[in-house]
Amino acid sequence: MNNKNKILEESRIALESLKQSVTEALDKKKRLGQYAVISKNGKIIKLFTEETKDKD
């Protein structure tokens, strides 16, 4: 495996690891009844507002 392919493979593995970590963190917050704030297309979005509204 040449150096460029090795870097691409390591980058792919790192990206998949980050995606999995974020998915797990968001799932945990949702199960705990917490909300998450993210930025999407330059706008701030609060996730899980309907589910956490009753708990606030």
What average pLDDT does range 14-34 have in this prediction?
96
Nearest to 8 by CA among 16, 54, 56: 16
- Residue 48: the pLDDT is 85
Backbone angles phi, psi at 44, to 5 degrees: -85, 130
**Whether the model pTM is above 0.75:** no
For residue 45, is pLDDT > 60?
A: yes
Instruction: Name the residue range of residue 22's domain.
Output: 3-55
- What is the number of structural domains in the chain? 1
Mean pLDDT of 16-29: 96
